[in-house]
Amino acid sequence: MLRSLIIALFVLTCVPAVACTCAKDPRVSKKEEITEKYERADVVFSGNLIKKVALNKARKRSSGDPVLYTFEIIHHYKGSFSKSTIEIVSEAFGSSCGYNFNEGLTYLVYTRASSHFNDRFPQLVDDKNAHTTGLCSGNMLRKKVDKKQLRILKRLKAKG
C-alpha cells in the first residue's frame, strides 16, 4: 500500500522537462528568417566581446542565471548607439535558452529591450530595460555570417 502511494505521488508530481529549441520551418527562406529576426530585435550589431561577468555570485547557481556581456561595437545594423560599447544580458546556458558568448571573439548579435531580469538584478536597469538576447535570437560568430546575410541586413538597415 505504501509503495503504491509513493509511486502514485511520484507519477503525479513529475512534470515534463522542456528544453530550449529553436525549430525552424523548412519552408521559410533565409531572407524571411533574417528579416523576422531583424524585425523582432531592437538592436542588431556586430562586435567584439570584451568582458563577460556572471551576475549571480551566490553558491547556488542555475543555467538560467544572467551573464552580463560587454561588446565593443564594430558595425550597427539596427538601433541607436551613444557609446562605442553595449552591455547585453543572456541566461548562462543554452539549456535555459541563453546564448554563451566567448571573450575575444566577434559576433553578430540581435538584442531586445526586456525587463526579464529586473526583479532579481536591479543593477541592470538604467532605463527600465536591459538589452537581452538568447539562443533563438539569431546570434552567431561573425566569421560564420555569409555575404547573403550581410546584404540582407544592409538592405533592412537602409529601409529604416
Domains within the chain, CATH numbers bracketed: 26-153 (2.40.50.120)
d(CA 44, CA 39): 10
Structure confidence at residue 35 (pLDDT): 95
Structure confidence at residue 14 (pLDDT): 46
List b or e across 68-104, with b for residues whose CB sees 16 or more CB atoms inside 10 angstroms. bbbbebeeebbbeeeeeebbbbbbbbbebbbbebeee
Query: Which residue matches cell numbers 571573450?
Result: 103
Length of the chain: 160
Structure confidence at residue 12 (pLDDT): 44
For residue 5, the surrounding DSSP H or E stretch is: helix 2-13
Strand ranges (DSSP E) for 2-159? Answer: 43-54, 66-78, 85-91, 106-114, 130-132, 140-141
Structure confidence at residue 119 (pLDDT): 63
Structure confidence at residue 71 (pLDDT): 96
C-alpha angle 32-35-38 in degrees, rounded to nearest 5: 150
The radius of gyration of the chain from alpha carbons, rounded to an integer in Å, stands at: 19
Structure confidence at residue 117 (pLDDT): 65
Q: Quote the pTM value.
A: 0.79
- Using 50 as the pLDDT threshold, list the residues of the chain that sit under it: 5-17
Beta-bridge mates of residue 135: none
